[in-house]
Structure 1
């Protein structure tokens, strides 16, 4: 039976985006027609985020009995403020969850918690690139894999953190409801695809967003959400109330590529991702904004 319950284990000094990114995926899944029952538990009665924001409506660990169909997600926390005095509270709870056969996931530095619980002993895993060496050094019996978005070992998943928690959550949604539905959720979140776990901790989408031009960000968001449609320069320019010529100049200056190149790179990356899932070429072509399956067959030779 497919699960509809996701339980977030929240440590004190949790990183807000590590938590919120994955939560939003399951929330948006509900908005798209596939509901998840989301719960939050913590060894702390009133956990604080690493940015100082307090969290309420968090249940005590003993109030939730984890079952096989559940998904348990540990959000990353600030390691320097991680209170190990709580180990006796959450480690037995987490070990019991794993013993029940639940899917266990960590985002970012929460891989350290999975390691401390013993659930990663001898397993492949990953974490944020800045912490892979420290994780391997502190827990030498693990097999820490660098520069991967997320790693699966049985029903245990570890992700690189920050935005990659979104990729992992989308993967879990896709497992249950299929790639077409996961793509719909991704579109609603304007992330355009679920990146594969074997991809490096970067993407075309992220590579070209390292700028601060609000108008160009707005155009990029529009492109990712409407990638399946024919996009014109005039349409994009009207969106941000500047001339097509000025938009062309600003886009290239901010991203390093032209608008046409950017659209093509996004379509290629998304198509190559969907090709790995063995879906019909006609559907992939439509989803990625290509005119025919012939263009997808050409890409197929490059995958």
Structure 2
């Protein structure tokens, strides 16, 4: 079997972007030089999307035997139309796939399917923000996490859904082919690369981005682009039309760090990088937003 095989499990009433986002990442990987054999399986002969579009080129589950090198991705579905009477059509297959050691991933509400199959018992996981509370209530053995793009527990991944399926797929690409290639695929797709936060960040542009708060992402983008300026919380708050006090609270909740600490860490890392390029220290200090070369030296020494 190819070690670069991705198997998409499709339920009836699947959400189109949950499926298409991840599919596109692996398709674009092929366009960038790393091909994936993509298979589409379903317990139903002609599953349809929640928006009414139907599929015809879908194989029965029995036609694909999963091995440990495969990636299985279960796309999210409309829970209200999810037919639990059909559990035995797919649960044994999914359990067998997990037992091989294959990578099992859910996008959005598909976390409910992984939970129903018993794959998330005692594990950290997530789903779309509108369903995290219900998932936890329905499956109390789970450790459901809020405000995460995606969560890894061993070789099982769960994502927050919709566009975060793209983030998860890019991370899986990075696992196999490295960060540089994942960034190339992201650039080809014209999307911003974010990270789960369990791995060391290799770029100042990606630090503390493991959340789904759009306003905080806007503030982070502004900070990164304006490190050479004096950054005031009042001005940052005006960017997203919230109070400075509320921004301070939301920023810490989303990122796990304060705005001041975030700015300081970015300035320190940028300074370390620029100093290696043999620029004059006075220029580096100004470019990174330090008031003087002495302040830069002190900050870098403390980092």
Asked whether the equivalents of residues 150 and 168 of structure 1 are also in contact (C-alpha less than 8 Å), the reply is yes
* Cα separation, 2, equivalents of 1:300 and 1:179: 26
Structure-2 residue corresponding to 1:97: 97
Structure-2 residue corresponding to 1:193: 193
- Partner deviation per Cα, 1:259-279 (whole Å, 9 max, x = no partner): xxxxxxxxx99x96xx8xxxx
Structure-2 residue corresponding to 1:15: 15
* Cα separation, 2, equivalents of 1:44 and 1:302: 59
Structure-2 residue corresponding to 1:215: none
Distance 1:131 1:295, change over 3 A: same
- Pairing 1:53-202 to 2, within 5 Å after superposition: 53-197=53-197, 199-202=210-213
- Partner deviation per Cα, 1:167-195 (whole Å, 9 max, x = no partner): 00000000111111100101111113133
* Cα separation, 1, equivalents of 2:154 and 2:85: 29
Q: CA deviation at 1:125?
A: 0.4
Distance 1:302 1:21, change over 3 A: farther
Structure-1 residue corresponding to 2:259: none
Distance 1:281 1:175, change over 3 A: farther
Asked whether the equivalents of residues 6 and 70 of structure 1 are also in contact (C-alpha less than 8 Å), the reply is yes
- Secondary structure of the structure 2 residue equivalent to 1:130: coil
- Secondary structure of the structure 2 residue equivalent to 1:55: coil
* Cα separation, 2, equivalents of 1:149 and 1:168: 8
- Partner deviation per Cα, 1:204-250 (whole Å, 9 max, x = no partner): 79759xxxxxxxxxxxxxxxxxx9xxxxxxxxxxxxxxxxxxxxxxx
Asked whether the equivalents of residues 152 and 158 of structure 1 are also in contact (C-alpha less than 8 Å), the reply is yes
Larger Rg: 2
Q: CA deviation at 1:6?
A: 0.2
Distance 1:296 1:302, change over 3 A: farther
Computed over aligned residues only, the root mean square deviation of the Cα atoms, in angstroms, reads 3.7
Gaps of 5+ in 1: 209-226, 228-253, 257-267, 286-290
* Cα separation, 1, equivalents of 2:78 and 2:84: 12
Distance 1:73 1:146, change over 3 A: same
Distance 1:61 1:281, change over 3 A: farther
* Cα separation, 1, equivalents of 2:59 and 2:129: 31
Asked whether the equivalents of residues 104 and 157 of structure 1 are also in contact (C-alpha less than 8 Å), the reply is yes
Q: CA deviation at 1:84?
A: 1.1
- Secondary structure of the structure 2 residue equivalent to 1:38: strand
